[in-house]
Amino acid sequence: MSIRLAVFDIAGTTVTDKNFVAIAFKNAFAAHGMEITEEETIPLMGYHKPLAIQMMLEKLEIDPDTELIEEIHADFESEMIDFYEYAPEVMPMPGAEEAFLALKEKGIRIALNTGFSREIADAIVNRFEWKEKGLVDDYIGSNEVEKGRPYVYMISELMKRAGVSDAREVIKIGDTAVDIEEGKNAGCKYVIGVTTGAFAQAELEEQNPTHILHHLSELPAILQ
C-alpha cells in the first residue's frame, strides 16, 4: 500500500525557531507573575497550547481557571505571531522544502499540523509562501478540531480533506513525544521522529517511533 499523505509538524520539524516557543511560553507566564524555566516547558511542546498552559498551571498548583488560561494564551499567541511574521532567524528547517518537493514528486500530498492555533500557522505558511509555491497542500491548527494531540482529530481531518480513508497510507513526522503518540494513535504506517527540535534521540526512542531521523533529507529514502 503506497503512501498518499505526509503530515508534518511545524515548529522544530519544518521550521527553525531557536527555542522561541519555549521562551514565549515562559514570557507569557512571567507576565502573570509566574516564573517557569524553559526546561520545564519542553515536555509540553507539541500540545494544544491552552492545554499546555493548563498542564503547567496544574504543575504549579495554581487553579487553571478558563479566564487565566485564555489570558496567558493570548499573550503567548501575540508574541508568537509577531515572531513568526518578522523575526529574521525564522526560516524553513534545512531540508524541509526539498523533502516536500521529493515527496510531492512521488504523488504524496503534504500537510502540516501543529499545537499552535490556526492564526500562528497562517503566519508561518504565509511568510514562506508554501501554498503559493505548491510545496504544502493543506495545514491545520489545533484550535480547529475538538482536541489536539495526542488525539487523532487533526490527522483525521487532514485525511478527510485529502480523500484518504486508510491511515496506512499516511506518515506522520514530528519532533516531540506527543507527535509520535498522535501518529501511533491514528494508525499511520510510519511515525517518524526527528531530532531537530525539542526532543533528543533517546527521548524519542522511548516513544517507539518507526523511524528516527537527524535531518529531513533522510526522509525520501524511507519511502523508496
Across the chain, mean pLDDT equals: 96
**Run of H or E including 7:** strand 5-8
Report which of 97, 92, 99 is spatially closest to residue 220, judged by C-alpha positions: 99
**pLDDT score recorded for residue 111:** 98
- Euclidean distance between CA atoms 129 and 18, whole angstroms: 21
The model's confidence at residue 196, banded by pLDDT at 50, 70 and 90, is: very high
Q: Determine the Cα–Cα distance for residues 197 and 104; give it in Å rounded to an integer.
A: 24
pLDDT the model gives residue 18: 79
Between CA 210 and CA 180 the distance in angstroms is: 9
Tell me: pLDDT of 159 over 80: yes
Query: In the numeric block, which cell numbers belong to residue 205?
Result: 526512542
Q: Give the percent of the chain with pLDDT over 90.
A: 96
Quote the pLDDT of residue 189: 98
Domains and CATH numbers, the chain: 5-17+91-222 (3.40.50.1000), 20-86 (1.10.150)
Query: Rounded distance, CA 210 to CA 224, Å?
Result: 15
Q: What share of the chain has pLDDT > 70, as a percent?
A: 100
Which band of pLDDT confidence, cut at 50, 70 and 90, is reported for residue 142? very high
Q: What is the pTM of this model?
A: 0.93
pLDDT confidence of residue 175: 97
* pLDDT (0 to 100) of residue 193: 98
Model confidence band, residue 1 (pLDDT cutoffs 50, 70, 90): confident
67 vs 157: CA distance, rounded Å: 29
Average pLDDT for residues 127-156, to the nearest whole number? 98
| Mean pLDDT score, 160-180 | 98
C-alpha cell of 130?
A: 508554501
CA–CA distance, 84 with 88 (Å, rounded to integer): 9
Q: Is the pLDDT of residue 180 over 80?
A: yes
With bands split at pLDDT 50, 70 and 90, how would you rate the model's confidence at 17? Answer: confident
**For helices 66-86 and 49-59, what crossing angle results, to 10°?**
130
Mean pLDDT on 180-198: 97
